[in-house]
Amino acid sequence: MAFEQEDESGAAFGHVIAVHGSVIDIRFASGALPAINEAVAIEWDIGRPLIAEVQKHLNDHTVRAVALESTSGLNRGRAARGLGTPIRVPVGNAILGRLLNSIGEPADRGPALPAEIDRRPIHTTAPRIDSFVGTLETFYTGIKVIDLLAPLVKGGKAAMFGGAGVGKTVLIMELIRTTVERHSGISVFAGIGERSREGHELLLELRQSGVLERTALVFGQMNEPPGARWRAGLTALSMAEYFRDTAHENVLLLIDNIYRLVQAGSEVSGLLGRLPSRVGYQPTLASEIAELEERIASVAGAAITSIQAVYVPADDFTDPAVAEIFSHLDSSIVLSREMASEGMYPAVDPLASTSSLLDPRLVGEAHYRTAQEVRKTIAHYRELREIIALLGIEELSAADRSAVKRARRLMRFLTQPFMVTVAFTGKSGRSVELEATLAGCRAILDGETDDWAESSLYMVGDLDEARRKESQISRATP
């Protein structure tokens, strides 16, 4: 059982007096109430004890706790015991290659974890400000549009924003694969509120690509109680903190989807009887997001780099949860439904995506100037699209026609086949160095590809591959 190693001296003992779905009221002796966020084990007939987390003191005798597992079959009168500590989850090399649930138990039908494995509480404080190590080092992904227009900060926080079906999960899976191959370090993946099918596909993909041995997976799936989804992010973060602080390893923390964590918190808040705040969200929205985000940091010797997928409800970027997540980020990658519908994958909007690292003093003058020219050219094209739709491209000036031609080629050059989509597209994936991306964009901006077919630049790696494709197209055209 996950908490057998805890010291029981001074433990609070009580019994269940009410069960409201995932919320459980437990009565204890006066003066022996478990603390807020303390774990409680409830004995019942279905296997090992049920684990819940105290969220509210109703009076001097009673607490209200949120179960992290299904309460189906739990009845009143069951014995409960405060464990004297927050939920503690396993950490260390033994969890690499494993799929765990939100309380740290194996969910992959593999062998049990070692009994003597180290454990860490999921609730802890963020590193002290004076222990932070500021870094402006770029975390290269091999994905052209990200490295060019929204470079990630090593030890920073980045998020991919998009509605349903625009490619967030595929991009996350590609980032796991490419970054584990390109960067030495550990990956910890938190799947929050995602479909069981997606978790199974991810596990198979990581196993086939050979990177599972350096990855730990934590899932609080869509069919699990809100408490499990609510705490899966903190469970994964505690595991990442161990590798950063104790093993001194650089860690890539991927979260898909952090909006589902907010949704689970909203469900829990309603079950606890709290009045909702704006748009029906929990009144503790800002503090819940901050509790997670502020613990993602670089300290001396190692860093946690976090990449998070964020579902945008109804494509509304003014949603309070989305706006709150924005405030914690170093890089924001915005996925466009319009680009996805045109087959421009990854569907990263080149104008809406931003990064604090895109500064000439940090990335260099050449990179900054190229990125700005790419944005300016694409923005000009979008301004002209309405005129083109009404009057036709022939009505534009020669300079505007040239800008449109180059913008369309730039947008196609920034597409890229992924390694994780080979089975669906038949195209082998590409990982492109920044220098090749800059050289390709520079050539397009300078007009070297004006006479090329647009399809020559679509779904290729670097410009040399596009040149070979153009040569084949030219030979095939009579």
Which residue numbers are catalytic? 168, 194-195
Could you tell me if 243 and 284 are in contact, meaning their C-beta atoms sit under 8 angstroms apart?
A: no
Q: Are 22 and 226 in contact (CB under 8 A)?
A: yes
Helix (H), strand (E) at residue 13 = strand 13-20
Secondary structure letter of residue 302 according to DSSP: E
Compute, in degrees rounded to 10, the torsion defined by CA atoms 241, 242, 243, 247. 140
Q: How many helices (H) and strands (E) does the chain have?
A: 14, 19
For residue 204, give every residue at least 6 positions away whose Cβ sits within 8 Å of its Cβ, in sequence order, or none. none
Helix (H, G, I), strand (E, B) or coil at 124: coil
Could you tell me which residues come within 8 angstroms of residue 460 by beta carbon, excluding any fewer than 6 positions away?
A: 413, 416, 417, 430, 466, 469
Q: Which amino acid is at 315?
A: D
- The number of beta carbons lying within 10 Å of the beta carbon of residue 108 is 14
Place of tokens 């899966």: 232
Q: 229 and 102 in contact (C-beta within 8 Å)?
A: yes
Nearest to 309 by CA among 283, 334, 342: 334
Q: Which residues contact 60 (CB under 8 A, 6 or more apart)?
A: 30, 31, 33
Q: How far apart are CA 151 and CA 464, in angstroms?
A: 23
Exposure b/e, 417-440, CB count within 10 A at least 16 = b = bbbbbeeeeeeebbbbebebbbeb
**Cβ contact 338:351 at 8 Å:** no
Nearest to 436, CA basis, from 454, 418, 422, 416: 416
